[in-house]
Amino acid sequence: MSTSTKGIHFEVSERKVLLRLMDIGVVFLGLYLLESFFNYDYLTITQNNTIALLVLAVYITVFGTIFEIYDLQQASKLDVTFRNIVLAASTTVLFYLLTPFFTPFLPEKRLQIIYFYVAIIVMILIWRFAYVTFVASPRFYKKVLLVGELTYIESIVKALNQSDPNYKIVGFINCEETLDEPVKFKGLKEFHPEDLVKVIGDYKISEVLVASYNSETITSAIYHDLIMLLEKGFTIREYTQVYEELTYRVPIQYVGKDFYKYFPFSRSNQNTLYLFFHRLFDIVFSAVGLILGCLIFPFILIGNLIGNRGPLFYSQERIGKNGKPFKIVKLRSMVINAEANGGAKWAQKNDVRVTAFGRFLRRSRLDEIPQFINVLKGDMSIIGPRPERPFFVNELSRVIPFYETRHIIKPGLTGWAQVNTRYGASVDDSLTKLQYDLYYIKHRSFFLDVNIIVKTLSTILYYRGQ
């Protein structure tokens, strides 16, 4: 079998880069067309406008990220993409006009601004229609054959399919010895082990994903075929690598005695320079946050009097770095004595204990403002795993492996888990959050921090807090 039978596909990183570069490219093309066919001279494609064009490219990239036009799940849906493109273009043009230091002065004919605005939206929409039609179409799907143990296949398939719409698992081969009464998995086509090489050729498989938690369960025949494929240059990958790459989570539930393989934690956790600037950012951001909080405090106070009717603040014990407890301060969003009957409870979606004004505080993230005090004191950071209550830490540590590993860094106001998943309302949700938290600890860096800040802005703008 030749590796040339593989289909053409784009990796996740390649598609994200493609979207960004083409967005900028088509906008510049639109400006060139405006200059060529209309009486337009506000921003032209000339050497004199190099800085202004670079600023436009930066604004498109930044606000495009905030308004999620580079989210691959959403980029494959034209209706959602249209809304996000309009929001991103509107914000881009607004900021562009408000920064004449780096951009051209307003033209005498204000109609040119409309041309400029419409050109950005139309050109990006045309390109995105082409992306959905061609790049995001089945012809460019990455076709994968899964070789693994039947017990765990369902959870792996579900996680990978939800993470990347172009990553298609065609079928699976059970690598275990056949039982007298085998358990069947109905969600995916099953192939016979002896047909492994033939399936790869017939279905134009690009990659074999091995999902075995015990290599001894792989039959000698399958092992021989995998070695032969590897020697011919075919791509064979281990499931935890792909899981982490596509989901941006560490698959902690699949980690056993070989846990040390999955925790080469980021050097940033001990890097003095990174930690210095991280702390400096915490102090500056918290100081600005508290000043802005003081400015809107009168409105919050009025809202509390009308919609909460009771104390505005409340404090709670949380677990911090190295398991050290501390007191967290928040704006009250629940009814008074919300846990009077039955003690600590999970916060649920549409929780009846949350007041009308409290729901607004949560979704806008305004209830977190007092925690800037905790950040200034050093109990917390702006970015990190959310601090949990001692009761839940004790409970979750018993059922989720490595749960307390999240305490090796300071907890944060926002974090990788907060911008990627919903509020934890169960043990399963807490497991997902832990996967994201460990991914952050493992890959902690300046660029990941910036990504979290940008995604937090998206969460606030789209009112997704709970």
Q: What's the pLDDT at 344?
A: 62
Reported pTM: 0.81
Decide yes or no: CATH 3.40.50.150 for domain 141-247.
no
Please tell me which residue, 261 or 451, carries the higher pLDDT value. Answer: 451
DSSP state string for 218-273: S-HHHHHHHHHHHHTT--EEEHHHHHHHHHSS--GGG--TTGGGS----GGGT-HH
Using CA atoms of 218, 221, 227, 233 in order, give the dihedral in degrees to the nearest 10: -110
- In tens, the pLDDT along 348-386 reads 666 677 888 888 888 888 888 999 999 999 999 999 999
Q: How far apart are CA 31 and CA 117, in angstroms?
A: 10
pLDDT of residue 159: 81
pLDDT band at 3 (very low <50, low <70, confident <90, very high): very low
If one compares 136 and 208, the residue with the highest pLDDT of the two is: 208
User: How many angstroms separate the CA atoms of 367 and 316, rounded?
Assistant: 13
CA gap 89, 242 in Å, rounded? 34
Kindly indicate the confidence band of residue 262, based on its pLDDT and cuts at 50, 70 and 90: low
Q: How confident is the model at residue 286 (pLDDT cuts 50, 70, 90)?
A: very high
Write the pLDDT tens digit of every residue in 228-237. Answer: 998 988 989 9
Residues 149, 165: Cα–Cα separation, whole Å = 24
Q: How confident is the model at residue 341 (pLDDT cuts 50, 70, 90)?
A: low
Q: Mean pLDDT, to the nearest integer, of 400-417?
A: 91
Number of residues that make up the chain? 466
Distance in angstroms (rounded) separating the CA atoms of residues 455 and 449:
10
pLDDT at 145 over 80: yes
3-state secondary structure at position 437? helix
Number of H helices, E strands in the chain: 16, 9
More confident residue, 89 or 425: 89
Q: Please determine, for residue 2, whether its predicted confidence score (pLDDT) is greater than 60.
A: no
- Phi and psi at 189, nearest 5°, equal -70, 130
Give which of 407, 404, 252 is closest to 321, Cα–Cα.
Answer: 407
Which residues are within 8 A (CB) of 236 and not within 5 positions of it... i.e. 6 or more apart?
207, 208, 210, 226, 229, 230
Question: What's the pLDDT band for 49 if we cut at 50, 70, 90?
Answer: very high
pLDDT of residue 105: 85
Looking at residue 436, what is its pLDDT? 93
Which of 32-46, 177-191, 192-206, 368-382 is predicted with the least confidence, judged by mean pLDDT? Answer: 177-191
Report the percent of the chain where pLDDT is more than 70: 87
Share of residues in the chain with pLDDT > 90 (%):
39
Q: CA 252 to CA 425: how far, in whole Å? A: 19
- At 348 the pLDDT is 61
Range among 82-91, 102-111, 238-247 rated most confident: 82-91
What is the Cα–Cα distance from 52 to 205, expressed in whole angstroms? 46
CA-to-CA distance for 320 and 318, rounded, in angstroms?
6
Q: Which residue has the higher pLDDT, 277 or 270?
A: 277
The C-alpha atoms of residue 455 and residue 69 are separated, in whole angstroms, by 12
Token code pair at residue 417: 């888990």
Q: Report domain extents, the chain.
A: 3-135, 141-247, 267-461
Residues 150-176 have a mean pLDDT of 80
Asked if residues 328 and 388 have their Cβ atoms less than 8 Å apart, the reply is no
What is the per-residue pLDDT for 186? 64
